[in-house]
Amino acid sequence: MPNSFTPQVAGDLNYLKSLNRSTILSTVRRSPGLSRADIALQTGLTKATVGSVVQALSEGGWLREGELHSRGGGRPGRALYLDGDRHYMLGAEVGVKGLRLVACNLVGEILASLHQEVSPTTPEATATRLAELLVQLRQDPALGGRSCLGLGVSVPGPVSPRAPILRLAPNLGWTDIDFLALLREQPDLPGGVWLLDNEANAAAFGEFYFFDGVPPESIAYISADIGIGCGVVSGEHFPVVPRGYQGLVGEIGHTVIQPGGAFCHCGNRGCAETLVSGWALREALNVEPEASLSAAVQARADEEAVQALIQRAGEALGLLMLNLHHTLNPSMLILGGSLMRLEARLIEPALAYFHDHQNDLLRKSQSVPIKIIEDSTFTAARGAAAQVMARAAIEV
């Protein structure tokens, strides 16, 4: 059964080696502390192969040896971990409200970060500013002695699945921008893998790749911000983000859940975004773009109309979660984005709606775990960095 590491066309011995190296790396990523013997058992490879691959990966700065741990009799195994001290990846989010940058290591720890809360203007000016910030970030002493694997950039709109091109960013007014090409014209940027992806996809990838705990089978990450997007990830050793033919997978903010409802900026009516999204709530509450939405809601929390508005938004979010479940059926739902700052006011009605409207199909199954990310400031940037690591790992 092929997955996301099957070669584009056919495989040679190089591909085979790369495949097994990546599988071993991923096995350690998902279960830190395994010994060579454990890895051989889990992957089906022989001890000999695992031994030689682990040696190569250690020399390359990907793995490090840890403590011994004995299990009953016999020689104790040497624990293996991803080496967090020798490489790092850069991740950046070009968001509607500003630029956010991180540098993180192989275990997903953020070593250094920057953010500038000023809305981007033109693509060119944004690329210039981002390049400056990247140079600044790379001078952070926390990165000393490490080598850079590459750069991932996330953007607020669908990216073409066949080329790293931003197709449309409605909230920036950008269309068909080859942002990486603009960035490449800037000085002093690192080499390595360069990637561009949608914000929700990048965030979803990062939450899946660097999942803290027993990794889920698949996730859907709902990004509730100015607009509503969604990224999906699945795949044990080689996580795959389905993008669809035009990069529109997960554009759930523009699924219609109220036919004939309010007009949406997309040109349609009754989209989910007209009920639950940063722009819809700001519009309904007359909140200026610079002001804080959550603060405005907090301030007017006594007004019944405001309560009803947020309640309806939460229910719409719950309905979206249900529909998503019947269409993509992930094993875990993750909610993130700045709308999470509305906290229980929004989240409780969403969860209540989700649980109260389960149908027979869902009731038969165990309930879907839902994880909420309160602060997703660097989620997308870190996710973009994670994508760089995943790509670099198969290109070692």
Residues 354-393 binding a second copy (CB under 8 A) are: 357-365, 368
Q: Does 237 bind DNA (CB under 7 A)?
A: no
CA distance 130 to 124: 10
Residue 185 interacts with a second copy (CB under 8 A): yes or no? no
C-beta of 147 vs 359, nearer to a second copy: 359
Does 344 sit near a second copy (CB under 8 A)? Answer: no
Q: Which residue's CB is nearer to a second copy, number 185 or number 236?
A: 236
Rounded Cα distance between 260 and 44, Å, is 56
Q: Specify which residues 89 forms β-bridges with.
A: 104
Beta bridge partners of 40: none
Q: Are 95 and 130 in contact (CB under 8 A)?
A: no
Residue 352 is a binding residue for a second copy (CB under 8 A): no
The residue among 274, 278, 34, 55 whose CA lies nearest residue 156 is: 278
What span, in angstroms and rounded, lies between the C-alpha atoms of 41 and 33? 14
| Binding-site member from 4, 31, 42, 49 for DNA (CB under 7 A) | 49
List binders of a second copy among 70-109 (CB under 8 A).
none
CB atoms within 10 A of CB 363: 9
Using rule CB under 8 A, residue 207 touches a second copy: no
Site string for DNA, 75-114 (x = CB under 7 A): xxxx------------------------------------
Residue 240 interacts with, from DNA, a second copy, none (CB under 5-8 Å by kind):
a second copy
64 binds DNA, rule: CB under 7 A: no
Measured CA to CA, the distance from residue 110 to residue 133 in angstroms comes to 16
**Residue choice 6, 52, 122, 139 for contact with DNA (CB under 7 A):** 52
CA distance 169 to 343: 27
45 binds a second copy (CB under 8 A): yes
Binding segment for DNA (CB under 7 A), chosen from 67-75, 96-104, 151-159, 181-189, is 67-75
**Contacted by 218, from DNA, a second copy, none: CB < 5 to 8 Å by type:** a second copy
Distance from C-alpha of 181 to C-alpha of 169, rounded to nearest angstrom: 17
Closest CA to 205 of 287, 89, 319: 89
**Residue the block writes with tokens 């979660």:** 321
Q: Are 209 and 183 in contact (CB under 8 A)?
A: no
Q: Residue 5 CB, nearest distance to DNA (Å)?
A: 13
**Residue carrying the six token digits 């803290």:** 212
244 binds a second copy (CB under 8 A): yes
Query: For DNA, which is the closer residue by CB, 45 or 220?
Result: 45
Site residues (vs DNA, CB under 7 A) = 11-14, 16-17, 20, 35-38, 44-49, 51-55, 68, 70-78
